[in-house]
Amino acid sequence: MKFVDLGLIDYQKAYDLQRSAVSDVIAGGEEQVFLCEHPSVLTLGRMSDERYILAPREDLAARGIEVLSIDRGGEVTLHAPGQLVVYPILDLKKYGKDLKQYMFQLEETGIGFLKSFGIDSIRNPGKTGVWSEGAGGHKKVISIGVGVKKWVSFHGMGINVSTDLKLFSLINPCGLGAPMASVESLTGRPCGLKKAKEVLIEKIKFNFIEGKFQYNT
């Protein structure tokens, strides 16, 4: 499994790299995990409801925020600088050939990631993603939406590290009306993307490479 840091990259360019990597893995090539952040962009998953975009399109355009329809599950999602975006291009035949189990394991990876920063987090039944747990109530920190082609995964997770949370007022995140949080907002301490990437790579290696894949039983 190869980890590739794409840095700050246009969403469409990252998507094109995903498609190429998916084709490579289908043909028997090496699994890859892309880590990156994007300029501000809204993406709409399959069957998304545009009423969850709360700002007029002309206002978004004036702020340079694109709106793109894409081939992942889930509703409207915001990507912006300070959010660690992770695209695992994995052969799911190696991991149980079960999409629900894969989603469970992505959440498990996110929970382990947040624990490394002293953040207690949970799953929220019926609502994909990872949520903080504490006196302030449940807030969504990690959004998850995936696509699969011939049992090879693409798209993935958006982890709010130092994201400007005010940007989420532009949407109803994932159609859930959920309050959003970031690593920095929950810890009260700065957290750079470099450190976040190092921690996340450790968690992915632990779960997917070292054979610690946990099954939802």
The CATH number for 194's domain is 3.30.930.10
Is residue 217 domain-resident? Answer: no
Helix axes 99-115, 193-204, angle to 10 degrees: 130
Domain limits for position 40 = 2-209
Q: Choose the catalytic residue: 89, 119, 144, 174.
A: 174
Is residue 214 domain-resident? Answer: no
Domain count, the chain: 1
Is residue 192 domain-resident? Answer: yes
Each residue of 7-31: pLDDT tens digit? 999 999 999 999 999 999 999 999 9
Is residue 59 domain-resident? Answer: yes
Q: Count each helix (H run) and each strand (E run) in the chain, helices first.
A: 5, 10
| DSSP designation for 215 | P
Element (H, E) at 174: none
Each residue of 154-185: pLDDT tens digit? 999 999 999 999 998 888 765 556 789 999 99
> Is residue 174 flagged as an active site residue?
yes
The pTM (predicted TM-score) of the whole model is: 0.90
